[in-house]
């Protein structure tokens, strides 16, 4: 059973480990799909789908989802080159450097790209502190 620290919210994706354990319980004959669903606190239809998928394909992964192709991935080498030349570039500075080369992306797109490739950066440089009014007096 779950407790307050491991409780999963309804409608959220289920991890591969939980899927594996539920499917193993059904395939090993320890539980029915409904029993495994009750035990692992997921929908019976989900367990049935995972078991069917495993029997048909040998895995339980979801099918690929649709969406449009990434505009930024083809510019990957250019971005890596700029970051290699100047590793201290902020997101905005990287944005300006790319724009100078004729490639325009939003700061959010760049942030997501960098995060996806393990190159997270701060969104803005540290601001200069204003002198304290009390210190001036």
Give the predicted TM-score (pTM) of the model: 0.47
Residue 32 is predicted with a pLDDT of 95
Whose tokens are 């004959």? That residue is 29
CA–CA separation, 71 vs 69, rounded Å? 6
Q: Is 69 left (phi over 0), alpha (psi -120 to 50) or beta?
A: beta
From the list 5, 1, 37, the residue with the least C-alpha distance to 21 is: 37
pLDDT by residue for the chain (137 residues), tens only, comes to 445 445 666 667 788 899 999 999 999 999 999 999 999 999 999 999 999 999 999 988 877 788 888 899 999 999 999 999 998 889 999 999 999 999 999 999 999 999 988 887 654 444 445 566 555 55
CA–CA separation, 110 vs 91, rounded Å? 7
């Amino acid at each position: 059973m779950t407790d307050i620290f491991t409780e999963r919210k309804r409608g959220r994706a289920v991890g591969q480990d939980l899927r594996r354990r539920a499917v193993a319980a059904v395939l090993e004959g320890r539980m029915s799909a409904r029993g495994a669903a009750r035990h692992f606190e997921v929908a019976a239809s989900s367990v049935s789908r995972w078991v069917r998928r495993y029997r048909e394909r040998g895995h339980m992964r979801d099918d690929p989802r649709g969406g449009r192709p990434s505009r930024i991935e083809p510019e990957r080498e250019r971005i890596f080159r700029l970051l290699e030349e100047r590793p201290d570039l902020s997101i905005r500075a990287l944005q300006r450097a790319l724009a100078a080369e004729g490639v325009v992306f939003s700061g959010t797109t760049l942030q997501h790209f960098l995060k996806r490739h393990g190159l997270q950066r701060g969104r803005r440089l540290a601001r200069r502190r204003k002198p304290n009014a009390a210190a001036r007096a």
